[in-house]
Amino acid sequence: METIKPKYQKNAKINWYRTKVDKKVMSALIKQDNWHGFMQVGLQLGFFIATGLLAYAAFLNIQMTNWYWAIPLLLLALFVHGTQGPFLGLVAIHELCHKTPFKSKLWNEFFLKVYSFLSWSDPIWFRPSHVKHHQVTVHSDYDGEVTLPQSFNFRNWPFWLGILAIDPRTPYNIIKATISRAKGIVDGDWNNFVLPEEDKKMRKDYANWARFQLIGHLVLATLFIATGNWFLILVFNFGSMYCTWLGFLCGSPQHYGMSPNVPDFRLCCRTYTCSWLPGFLYWNMQYHIEHHMYPGVPFYNLPKLRKAIEHDLPPAPHGLWATWQGILDIHKKTKTDPSYQFIPRLPQSKGEFVDDLVLENEASLTA
């Protein structure tokens, strides 16, 4: 009988190139502290709650016939509130899954659950998926989280609807997927790879978390409706599902147009720099080469890591405008040559190739 080769292979050992960092410098860079973690989540969640309540206040004023100023304020507040939404999902829970924002495991896990609940995200699946993604980044036989080449369809009107407002299919699809997970259904080759059928405990946790999300959001929605505050469903239950423009602009450059199946993060990841606000919302993931080289470094130390290894990295565009000029240029070239890959200019190598699976500074990710 013919043996069917599984789509994703196990036990890959890729000798990744990494820029050498002095041990004392690295020891300081991987140190975690609760202060930076609380500052990040306190400001981000506080801003999210404040803009949500501002939208609600504007909505109440519309009902009191103050529509001439309340309607513009409502639209503006919803736009700002929704712009933050995507960053509550796979950006915040991404770093919390790394277990690096807080020194305390308790706070990492607590805020992981808070962010995951608000954004309808699944940390049970994401953690093993992301561990694998770091070990085998965009290697086609091993990485199902990010596959290259990627593409954009700018002519698709629902894309623009979701970017600038809300695509009604988004909450429908998210709730539908959560119901499926609550039933214990695991769809797709990659999901079954990172949530293997033989791991009964993980699959049970996977289903239980989805059930908790559904029940929790249903209770909140019922409470909002029963108290006459149904508008709060839009800002809190569905607050991560609209106005995704900034999340799209920040997140899409990570690997777009880069080279798959190479053992060098400088060739398969992209770093750019930006102003403080998108960097804050994005948890410094614009430093994406640095993050992949040393994922045990907390997000708040990535700018320092950048300075320590900048001499061995390709030039980084500054700002989203400059970054997207490059992205759109790649997009244009792939239209005529689908095999085109962007190869950045690299300095003379000052690093080494090391086994990705034995690096001490990755313990916080794989533990």
Read off the pLDDT of residues 231-288 as tens digits, 9 standing for 90 and up: 999 999 999 999 999 999 999 999 999 999 999 999 999 999 999 999 999 999 999 9
CA atoms of 93 and 240, how far apart (whole Å): 13
- Percent composition of the chain: helix, strand, coil (DSSP 3-state, to 5): 60, 5, 35
Give the residue carrying structure tokens 């820029």: 19
Using pLDDT thresholds of 50, 70 and 90, give the confidence band for residue 1. very low
pLDDT tens-digit map of 202-220: 999 999 999 999 999 999 9
What is the average pLDDT score of the chain?
A: 91
Cα–Cα distances (Å) from 358 to 28, 122, 251, 366, in that order, read: 20, 27, 28, 10
Greatest CA separation for the chain: 75
Tokens of 97: 């899954």
Percent of the chain with pLDDT over 90: 81
pLDDT computed for residue 4 by the predictor: 40
CA atoms of 234 and 241, how far apart (whole Å): 9
**What is the value of pTM for the model shown?**
0.92
Instruction: Yes or no: say if 74 and 59 are a contact pair by the CB < 8 Å rule.
Output: yes
Q: Which residues pair with 273 in a beta bridge?
A: 318
pLDDT computed for residue 12 by the predictor: 78
Tokens of 1: 């009988």
Q: Rounded to an integer, what is the distance from CA 276 to the centroid of its chain? A: 18
pLDDT computed for residue 67 by the predictor: 74
Using pLDDT thresholds of 50, 70 and 90, give the confidence band for residue 350. low
Instruction: Yes or no: say if 116 and 93 are a contact pair by the CB < 8 Å rule.
Output: yes
Q: What is the 3-state secondary structure (H, E, C) of 41-107?
A: HHHHHHHHHHHHHHHHHHHHHHHCCCHHHHHHHHHHHHHHHHHHHHHHHHHHHHHHHCCCCCCCHHH
Instruction: Yes or no: say if 356 and 15 are a contact pair by the CB < 8 Å rule.
Output: yes
pLDDT computed for residue 354 by the predictor: 63
Q: How far apart are the first and last CA of the chain?
A: 39
CA atoms of 239 and 341, how far apart (whole Å): 36
**Between 158 and 74, where is the model more confident?**
74
pLDDT computed for residue 153 by the predictor: 87
Percent of the chain with pLDDT over 70: 93
